[in-house]
Amino acid sequence: MASCCTAKFRFSISSCRAARSPRPFPGSLIHSFPLFHSPFARPMKPTNLRSVSASTEVSAGAASSTPTFSWDDVVRVSQPEFNPNDSSNLRGFFDKIKACNRGAEFQSEFPPFVVEDQIVGYIHKGFAENLRSFEDVFILSKDNCDGGKVMLHQSLKSADDRTRAVGEVIKCLAENELIPGIRNELFPVTSSYGAPVFFSLERAAVPYFGIKAYGVHMNGYVEKDKQKFLWLGKRSLVKSTFPGMLDHLVAGGLPHGIACGENLIKECEEEAGIPRTLSSRAISVGAVSYSDIDGHRFKRDVIFTYDLKLPESFVPNNQ
């Protein structure tokens, strides 16, 4: 059971609200905006649910000094001659967006992974060579027009057959240390969210096959003296990804066979000891997507985001 402390991360309401704009931001920019999108935001189980006090706060008065902020302003502040001391400078935000969407220039090195004529992922050419010897499971085609693709053998007709056959390959690759950190957790392989599931894939292998993965992240906060306090989770020091870093109060991947809302309720209980009577009140506030290429790994994640107001007396408790 993880220990908890009472210090909280304090923020003002105005610091979490973008000024209204007469012209809406493009959806693609909003999805990658750094307020919601961080390279640290990965599904995890926090070992210590605690928070840190912020050294600075944005006052309501400061926010009200710029009542409108249009797309024209975004273009203006991105220019080289823009004064970095201007309070509306968003250059740092754009840097974060780039950090969360690395490697786009290498996407041509990832031929598509195709199942039943649907693109379900992208596999690096170098990693695909590891699949060539499993000729009863994978077919690597070479097409002069599109540069080739990776497919499943035509004998694998059903989702169960594909899951079993691909699972044996993943086990072999893991034994040869080509896919580290096996989780023994299956993620659905689809062409898009809600589409038919072609088969299920070991979670650790998902980025190596460029499969689009889904997850849930939730902010848990309390209100006291007309201010909001945000509970934060701290990742275990033994985690294989981002050890010891801060994260949302509740976060987890979306495995095969469970609905998004039900998965959030499950994660709330496991990671923070939040009972269903409270977690069922969580409010869906959108989704964040990003594409990150790192070596042979192509992460194409979509995170469904939630907010939950907790009782002032509530203290998270990792189960």
Q: What is the CATH number of the domain that holds 158?
A: 3.30.750.160
Is the model's pLDDT at 73 over the cut of 80? no
User: 89, 39 in Cβ contact below 8 A?
Assistant: no
Are 231 and 155 found together in one domain?
no
pLDDT score at 21: 32
Q: How many domains does the chain have?
A: 2
Residue 316 is assigned to a structural domain of this protein = yes
Closest to 100 in 3D by CA, of 301, 261, 287? 301
Q: For residue 308, what are the domain limits?
A: 1-17+38-52+212-319
Are 203 and 221 found together in one domain?
no
pLDDT score at 146: 57
- Whole-prediction pTM value? 0.70
Residue 93 is assigned to a structural domain of this protein = no
Three-state DSSP class for residue 175: helix
pLDDT confidence tier of residue 22, bands split at 50, 70 and 90? very low
Are 175 and 237 found together in one domain?
no
As a whole number, mean pLDDT of residues 227-246 equals 87
User: 269, 276 in Cβ contact below 8 A?
Assistant: yes
Are 201 and 222 found together in one domain?
no
Sign of CA dihedral 253, 206, 183, 43: negative
pLDDT score at 91: 75
Residue located via tokens 């034994």: 175
As a whole number, mean pLDDT of residues 235-246 equals 85
Are 294 and 223 found together in one domain?
yes
Are 220 and 248 found together in one domain?
yes
As a whole number, mean pLDDT of residues 102-122 equals 95
The contacts of residue 121 (CB under 8 Å, 6+ apart) are 112, 113, 189, 209, 210, 211, 212, 298, 300
Residue located via tokens 């991105």: 78
Strand 199-202 to strand 186-189: parallel, antiparallel, or no bridges (unpaired)? antiparallel
Residue 92 is assigned to a structural domain of this protein = no
- Measured between alpha carbons, how far is 12 from 58 in angstroms, rounded to an integer? 6
How far from 60 is each of 52, 63, 67, 85, 248, CA to CA, in Å?
Answer: 21, 5, 11, 20, 24
Are 138 and 182 found together in one domain?
yes
More confident position, 63 or 96: 96
Are 222 and 285 found together in one domain?
yes
Domain boundary among 163, 193, 208: 208
CB atoms within 10 A of CB 76: 14
Domain boundary among 208, 229, 246: 208
Are 188 and 238 found together in one domain?
no
Residue 140 is assigned to a structural domain of this protein = yes
Among 73-82, 159-168, 200-209, 218-227, which stretch is predicted with the lowest mean pLDDT? 73-82
The contacts of residue 79 (CB under 8 Å, 6+ apart) are none
Listed ranges 40-44, 96-100, 141-145, 191-195; the one with the highest mean pLDDT: 191-195
Is the model's pLDDT at 133 over the cut of 90? yes
User: For position 310, which CATH number holds?
Assistant: 3.90.79.10
pLDDT confidence tier of residue 66, bands split at 50, 70 and 90? very low
- Measured between alpha carbons, how far is 147 from 44 in angstroms, rounded to an integer? 37
Q: Provide the terminal-to-terminal Cα distance of the chain, rounded to the nearest Å.
A: 6
pLDDT score at 121: 97
